[in-house]
Structure 1
Amino acid sequence: MSNGQDSKNRSVLYVSATLALLFVAFSIFLPTQMSKAANAVLAFLTTNFGWLYLLSVFIFTLTVYSIAFSRFGKIKLGKDDERPEFSNFQWFTMLFGGGMGIGLVFWSVAEPMIHYVSPPVGQGGTIEAMLLAMRLVFNDFGIHVWIIYTVCGLALGYFQYRKDLPCLISSAFYPLLGDRIYGPIGKAIDILAVFATIFGVSTSLGLGSSQIANGLQYIWGIESSPGLTAVIIAAMTAIFTLATVSGLHKAMQAVADAKVWLSIAFMVFLFLFGGTVFIMNIFTHTLGDYLQNFIGQSLWMGNVEWAEAWPVFYRAWYIAWAGFVGQFIARVSRGRTIREFILAVTLLPAGFSFVFLAIFGGAAFNLDALSNGAIQAAVNTDYTTALFATLQQLPFYAITAPLAIVLIVASFVGAANSATYVLGMLTSGGDMNPSKKLRSFWGIAQGAVTIMLILVGGTAAIKTLQTASIAAAFPFMLIMLVMCYSIYKALSEEPL
């Protein structure tokens, strides 16, 4: 590789790292001002463009499925004779592990209860409110999540593995920009993706560590404090950094497998002891309700304030993650056909999430009724303890509560692994196997950023970080709309 290319590689690394450090410095020394600025930007975007977030994801949906069922579906993400690098099960665990982090566990009980008490329409605390709550949770963690990731993953996988372009977000725009992807425009796209990834992972690290700290207090009475949270962050950072340095075929694969198997174990346990018939009834009804209302729910703005706080917020959050998740799922999907890629990525992890949410949410509703509102009360007091409050109503709590903490750690580490690996790719000119030194740098940097913010500003600083990353999703959403056109234009020129 030429020195000129090396310089370009370093430019993305240096600029993105500098921007991140400046933001953290301002957040530490001017926390109130930064919080106000970030909240003002996010409020402006969601209030005036909330409709665009929902409409854009619907456009993504139409785009990917029209491609999947068109003549382009048989094209491979790679050369015609390439075979997949991973087995089907390994592929699924890495798709799910890289694309769904701690949010599924964090909100699996808390969000259904929140919507049950305060639904966007109708009376709270009723059977209707409970069924609506489950459909809303399906909408937030279902197919739309994976549609967003698929757009990026499809474009990146196609241009990188079939057209031999660098493993960079900017490569997806080659049909429109040509060699200008190697210039300032392409670098700006890559820097934006790095910026959103750093803060997206740091936010999840902060929220996940807070849930663990509160869980330790809930289970064993260990006082939750910024110092304890910082220790937890340091421990999780060490785990995911070491796993990322080991590579895709070693600890990263092991973490992904462990996350899925532990999730399955909890699902079986809750299914058997949390009210099997009740769970099956609520799953069946919610799945049918979700599928029947898919289009309407995708674009629903009937309660604007509620929509901005939940579906719009989630769409923006997933778009902020789309750059690194898309790059990661493209990396592990080389050799798959476009049809296979789209259908597997959008349906398999979403289907697993539906079963997971129905079991956790259904068990929580059933146990809440049997305990005269104990889980609902816990959520109202501190929603980070919702999972532990649910497990407390079941046998073997002394075993399942610590295992729940392990699940939280595994869920975060799985997503952080992929993010750190992709950060190395994006800041090394698209190297598919970035150096261990660079992977270590990004792992440690994400943990250090989060620890500094927690110690100085507490969870409020993490909220500011989250707000900023979601605000950064707006320009990336526009980039993804252009990406849809770019991939369609390139496929139209493919000889078939």
Structure 2
Amino acid sequence: MKDSGSSKNRTVLYISSAIISLFVIFGMFLPKEMGVVANKSFGFLTTDFGWLYLLSVAFFTVFIYGIAFSRFGNIKLGKDDDQPEFSNFQWFSMLFGGGMGIGLVFWSVAEPMMHYLAPPMGEGATPEAMRTAMRIVFFHWGIHPWVIFAICGLALAYFQFRKGLPFLVSSAFYPLIGDRIYGPIGKAIDILSVFATVFGVATSLGLGSSQIATGLNYIWGVQATPVTISIVIAVMTLIFTMATISGLHKAMQFAADIKVWLSIGFMVFIFLFGGTVLILNNFTDTLGAYFQNFIGQTLWMGNMDWLKGWTVFYWAWWIAWAPFVGQFVARVSKGRTIRQFVLAVTLLPSGFSMIWLSIYGGAAFNLDKLSNGAIQAAVKADYTTAFFATLQQLPLYSITAPLAIILIVASFVGAANSATYVLAMLTSNGDMDPDKKLRSFWGIMQGAFTIILILVGGGTAALAVLQTVSIVAAFPFMLIMIAMCYSIFKALGQEKLSGGK
């Protein structure tokens, strides 16, 4: 095993940034043509390979739990005598924090209500449609996303902390290609990881900026146009890029603390005033339905038109986020066993997400009924306003609405700042403390890239463009993750043969 060289090797940086820059230029000067190409690619992948997204995630689920409960589960992510860097409480807290993001805030009301109005099976706007809607939301935000993240996180943590390889996705393929991870094959894998991360994060930034813009419109009447959304992105990009350049770590920690405390505050507030008993009933019923239908829902293909816009999009989105979130959960899990890692990463954040969605979704259904359909009317008009329409039915709206904007901004800045760090690391040979200039470069690139996609799509349609691009970008990385599973299994088998615990 040879040395990987220093972070001065800029091959991944130059190639990935050049191609992404070309994409941005293409979108600026030929936006319609880019939209046509993206839509044709989307149609091809979802029509001909939608089954592969579902089957792959099912395989990832079986694989990760199979490894966790096998004889390999006691292997440490580190040397045999390494101890965890963080206490259990600190570790759990960080994993919970990793489960909170822009997407969870954006879809917490909108998605349950949209499934309620237009379910993939049966009649909409019925009690059964509400149960189906909540079960689907649990499915999309439950265990499956964190299984995907756990695959990538396990690979990064195992090969970095136990084998001493660079903190790069390509390192996971050492058992298959050996020192060629430092050559063109390894660089290609890391470039695809950069693409997946950029496209996945762009989707989240697009969702967050759209919700901020429509929130400003909903509260203060500021017109939410593609230009307004682009200005929001530009301002947010300036904030987190300046923080990165100037090293304002305390400022970023402050933003993270705001996100956590506001998230908890909103959950408690909505739980208390949104219909406590209905929320608890909803959570209990949905949790049972979720586990009862776990296998069937995982492989269900009864409505492909619906699946393309929802489940296939989500699985592609999570796959695109795998290098990003995988890096985070890996970094905080040194010294844990594989079994501890898998169970904590897949169950704790998903459990938090289910509680979050039960509170928001249950309250939305309750308040919608009490207001004679005010929330579903808002969703029909513009689903990005769903969160604010729900808050409007609760006390203290003049206070909670601006706080909601702050929560979304804090989630936006936190995700973007973390993504710039991961992208800088991926393009500096796995340097775990990448250069600040490189981080700022990727911050600007993410902002520019997302703005282009927003302008190409225009208004709410921009979110569809972002979804389309995510699915296209995630496809090659899905294939990489399948190969990654085999590589992990092969490495663990060799470790067992060499006497590893």
TM-score where L is the length of structure 2: 0.94
Secondary structure, aligned partner of 1:109: helix
Residue 172 of structure 1 corresponds to 172
Residue 53 of structure 1 corresponds to 53
Residue 188 of structure 1 corresponds to 188
Residue 199 of structure 1 corresponds to 199
- CA change 1:92–1:410 in 2 (3 A) is farther
Residue 487 of structure 2 corresponds to 486
Secondary structure, aligned partner of 2:200: helix
Shift of 1:410: 2.1
Matched to 1:196, the amino acid is A
Contact 2:27–2:456, Cα closer than 8 Å, also in 1: no
Secondary structure, aligned partner of 2:80: coil
Secondary structure, aligned partner of 2:9: helix
Shift of 1:66: 1.2
Distance, in Å, in 2 between the alignment partners of 1:410 and 1:354 is 21
Secondary structure, aligned partner of 1:301: coil
Q: Which runs of 4+ in 1 moved over 6 A?
A: 246-249
Shift of 1:98: 4.1
Distance, in Å, in 1 between the alignment partners of 2:426 and 2:379 is 39
Residue 275 of structure 1 corresponds to 275
Distance, in Å, in 1 between the alignment partners of 2:94 and 2:439 is 18
Aligned length: 495
Distance, in Å, in 1 between the alignment partners of 2:59 and 2:295 is 11
Contact 2:32–2:456, Cα closer than 8 Å, also in 1: no
Residue 11 of structure 1 corresponds to 11
Secondary structure, aligned partner of 2:5: helix
Structure 1: any 5+ residue segments left out of the alignment?
A: none
Matched to 2:78, the amino acid is G
Distance, in Å, in 2 between the alignment partners of 1:437 and 1:383 is 38
Matched to 1:470, the amino acid is I
Say yes or no: does 1:340 pair with 2:359.
no
**Superposed CA offset, 1:40-73 (max 9, x none):** 1111111111111111111111111111112222
Contact 1:82–1:335, Cα closer than 8 Å, also in 2: yes
Say yes or no: does 1:133 pair with 2:108.
no
Distance, in Å, in 1 between the alignment partners of 2:365 and 2:466 is 32
Range with bigger deviation, 450-459 or 268-277: 450-459
Alignment of structure 1 residues 109-148 onto 2, 5 Å: 109-148=109-148
Range with bigger deviation, 111-120 or 251-260: 251-260
Shift of 1:448: 2.9
Distance, in Å, in 1 between the alignment partners of 2:485 and 2:274 is 43
Distance, in Å, in 1 between the alignment partners of 2:455 and 2:404 is 25
Contact 1:325–1:418, Cα closer than 8 Å, also in 2: no
Alignment of structure 1 residues 79-158 onto 2, 5 Å: 79-98=79-98, 100-158=100-158
Contact 2:233–2:451, Cα closer than 8 Å, also in 1: yes
Matched to 2:492, the amino acid is L
TM-score where L is the length of structure 1: 0.94
**Superposed CA offset, 1:306-335 (max 9, x none):** 122211111111111112221222122222
Contact 1:134–1:286, Cα closer than 8 Å, also in 2: yes
Distance, in Å, in 2 between the alignment partners of 1:244 and 1:88 is 29
Structure 2: any 5+ residue segments left out of the alignment?
A: none
Matched to 1:56, the amino acid is S
Distance, in Å, in 1 between the alignment partners of 2:258 and 2:385 is 23
Distance, in Å, in 1 between the alignment partners of 2:417 and 2:79 is 27
Distance, in Å, in 1 between the alignment partners of 2:297 and 2:187 is 36
Residue 395 of structure 2 corresponds to 395
Alignment of structure 1 residues 292-371 onto 2, 5 Å: 292-371=292-371
Give me the CA root mean square deviation. Answer: 2.2
Distance, in Å, in 1 between the alignment partners of 2:341 and 2:253 is 19
**Superposed CA offset, 1:82-108 (max 9, x none):** 233334444344434445531111111
Contact 2:206–2:463, Cα closer than 8 Å, also in 1: yes
